[in-house]
């Protein structure tokens, strides 16, 4: 089962996503996408780790190249993703890493979607957290506009294949699908 959780910054979407995984009965994998760049990012990572403490999550770092990572894991008979409950957090970070990391040769949106598809096929359940970054303003530079357009495309692609799409608004879940 694939569930997409969307929401604004600090709206409670991460905690909501964790609670979905906590109701499942399999191995819990937290698939983390954030590079610890800067003080704010490091604090956010610490906050999320504290939030997951004692919940039985095994954290796997995958800041980019999700498709390659998923393919390599799933080729193993007992890969991490096989029959696990997985929380992928989050799509905006993964996309930013793909688009703006200095050693990137460009961003492969279809590759990200394919990676999600592979993981979803192997997992018992997959919960994906993404951000609603589309109401913050206008007049962005070209790179930012390309990022927002790519994020919208990723969110649409995930939502189309998801079994459930839930927006968290001020800690309150609103189910769309």
Q: What is the 3-state secondary structure (H, E, C) of the chain?
A: CEEEEEECCCCCHHHHHHHHHHCCCCCEEEEECCCCCHHHHHHHHHHHHHHHCCCCEEEEECCCCHHHHHHHHHHCCCCCCCCCEEEEECHHHHHHHHHHCCCCCCCCHHHHHHHHHHHHHHCCEEEEEEECCCCCCCCCCHHHHHHHHHHHHHHHHHHHHCCEEEEEECCEEEECC
Read off the pLDDT band of 175 (50, 70, 90): very high
pLDDT digits (tens, 9 = 90+) for 40-63: 878 888 887 887 888 899 989 898
Confidence of residue 104 (pLDDT cuts 50, 70, 90): low
Arithmetic mean of pLDDT, 34-43? 82
Q: Residue 106: pLDDT above 70? A: no
Whether pLDDT at 38 is above 90: no
Report for 42-46, 75-79, 146-150: range of highest mean pLDDT: 146-150
Q: How many domains does the chain have?
A: 1
Structural domain boundaries enclosing 104: 2-175
For residue 69, give the CATH number of its domain: 3.40.50.300
Which pTM value belongs to this model? 0.90
pLDDT, mean over the chain: 89
Predicted confidence at residue 160, as pLDDT, reads 97
pLDDT of the residue at 36: 77
């Amino acid at each position: 089962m694939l569930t997409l959780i969307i929401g604004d910054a600090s709206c409670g979407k991460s905690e909501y996503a964790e609670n979905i995984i906590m109701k499942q009965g399999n191995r819990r994998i937290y698939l983390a996408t954030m590079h610890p760049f800067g003080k704010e990012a490091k604090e956010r990572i610490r906050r999320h780790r504290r939030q997951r403490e004692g919940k039985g999550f095994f954290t796997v770092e995958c800041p980019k190249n999700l498709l390659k990572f998923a393919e390599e894991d799933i080729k193993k008979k007992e890969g991490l993703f096989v029959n696990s409950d997985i929380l992928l957090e989050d799509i905006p970070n993964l996309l930013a890493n793909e688009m703006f990391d200095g050693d990137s040769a460009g961003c492969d949106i279809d590759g990200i979607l394919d990676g999600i598809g592979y993981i979803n096929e192997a997992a018992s359940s997959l919960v994906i957290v993404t951000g609603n970054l589309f109401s913050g303003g206008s007049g962005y530079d070209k790179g930012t506009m390309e990022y927002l357009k790519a994020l919208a495309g990723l969110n649409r692609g995930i939502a189309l294949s998801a079994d459930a799409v839930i927006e968290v608004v001020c800690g309150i879940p609103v189910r769309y699908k």
